[in-house]
Amino acid sequence: MKTIHYKETLFYYDCVQVFAALDKIGGNYLCVLVDDNGDADQYLTIGISPESLRAFKSGKAELRDIIINREFQDWFTVESSGDFSADMNLEIKEGEIPKDLLPAEGFFLNAAPLNSEFVQTEAKARNNVIIEVWIDPPEAARESKVHANTLAGFLTCVQTLVKHSYNKALAKLSPQARKDLDGTDAHTIDAFAFAPGSFKVAFEASKGPDLFGFIELQRALEKLDEITDNADSPAAALEVMKNNKGHLVGAYIRLLDFLIKSDTAFAYKWSSPSADKAHGRTITAKQAIPLFDTFTKAAQLGIENVELHGFLRRASSKNNTWLIESVEDGKEYSGECKEGVTVSHLTIDGIYRFKCEERLEEQPATGKETRKLSLVSSQEG
């Protein structure tokens, strides 16, 4: 009799409800719990291609539809006593699958295969904040691999999002608290482990705990939890974005754009040494599209308001461009004028206060963020 062996749990509720399995030559199977009243749990089982299994795991394919319109017409049952280390015998069935064995309509998987225990164990062992992230690009359907460009883009999106999450979290602190805080490299994360299962990367905070055991990266990840909530409700998510508008929202929109273009889901889990549970979110490819559409249609979400005070060193009324030397940090800042705004009446080397809108644009090749400043108004003095 043909046998299969357990590969991974895809959905758990009181017990293993849906899992993936392999036969001895690497064929994939999808197993769905249909009876748990006997001495052994019984699972409806079908053969499935790596591509269809990936579509289900990434939240794009409905479970009932996969079974009804299965690629291989044979169907089976297997029994398990709960010991998934043992091989399971495939019992082939004849005829159509009875309707009472089919799962309910509308079931899409919304949970990535990330283990809370891993980040909790590593956080305590390394005495650091640990975050594990996961993507499932098309090239990972048959084996744990990812294109170099996809990996580079993904890691850039994650680090950029964490950086702006940290900056937004700091904005909630008092000016004195921010001044007393050593936030150098607090948002930076270092990869220390890669794991199979589509594609997983584990990171730890570059900067460890302070004298009181607090790790600054935790501020960033708590803010990340806040903005990635409500993935199933774009309208509710939009309200959260309005409260966090600026570079953080811009970074989140770029992540969603990456997920759509790369045709992948995204998930993360994180924990700290003192935490009693892991935190995290999953955004499926199906969820990313309406979120992206909603956020990009809303005006001003990715824009930060910036005020510059300094000497006007260059101004072009023809091109509507300008350059100002800040009296606060000595740096030069340049930009354009918003429609209807002009610098033709300003005096070179005069001192001004510029109110600007700042947008960050990311260079595709390097992931480097470029600042784009647009002058909204100016005041002498």
- pLDDT of residue 93 exceeding 90, the answer is yes
Q: Could you tell me the maximum CA-CA distance found in the chain, to the nearest angstrom?
A: 89
- Examine residue 84 and state whether it is found in any structural domain, yes or no: yes
Both 246 and 353 in a single domain?
A: no
Is the pLDDT at 235 greater than 80, yes or no?
yes
Give residue 184's pLDDT.
78
Say which amino acid occupies 348: I
Which residue reads 């354009």 in tokens? 336
Residue 194 has pLDDT above 90, yes or no: no
Is it the case that residue 205 has pLDDT exceeding 80? Answer: yes
199-205: strand order across its sheet? 189-195, 199-205, 130-135, 266-271, 279-283
Residues 6 or more apart from 90 whose CB is under 8 A from it? 1, 2, 3, 4, 23, 29, 45, 76, 78
Average pLDDT estimate for 270-288: 92
Same domain, yes or no: 212 and 348: no
Q: Kindly tell me if the per-residue pLDDT of 195 is higher than 80.
A: no
Which range of residues forms the domain containing residue 216?
116-297
The predicted-structure confidence for 3-45, as pLDDT tens digits, reads as follows: 999 998 888 888 899 999 999 999 999 999 999 877 889 999 9
Whether residue 247 is found in the same domain as residue 267: yes
Residue 73 has pLDDT above 60, yes or no: yes
Are 271 and 349 within one domain?
Answer: no
Query: Is there a domain that residue 334 lies in?
Result: yes
pLDDT at 292 over 90: yes
Residue 275 belongs to a domain: yes
Q: In terms of domains, do 284 and 352 share one?
A: no
> Is residue 74 domain-resident?
yes
Task: Establish if 107 belongs to a structural domain.
Answer: no
Give me 134's structure tokens: 């996961």
Q: Do 210 and 128 form a contact (C-beta atoms < 8 A)?
A: no
Whether pLDDT at 365 is above 60:
no
- Does residue 236 surpass a pLDDT of 80? yes
Number of domains in the chain: 3
Is 109 a member of any domain?
A: no
Q: Mark whether 78 and 155 lie in a shared domain.
A: no
pTM for the structure as a whole: 0.74
132 in the same domain as 235 = yes
Distances (CA, A) of 123 to 86, 273, 275: 32, 5, 9
User: Which residues neighbour 163 within 8 Å (Cβ) at sequence distance 6 or greater?
Assistant: 187, 188, 220, 251
261 plus 232 within the same structural domain: yes
pLDDT of amino acid 136: 80
Read off the pLDDT of residues 142-166 as tens digits, 9 standing for 90 and up.
666 788 888 888 989 999 999 999 9
- Whether the predicted pLDDT of 63 surpasses 90: yes
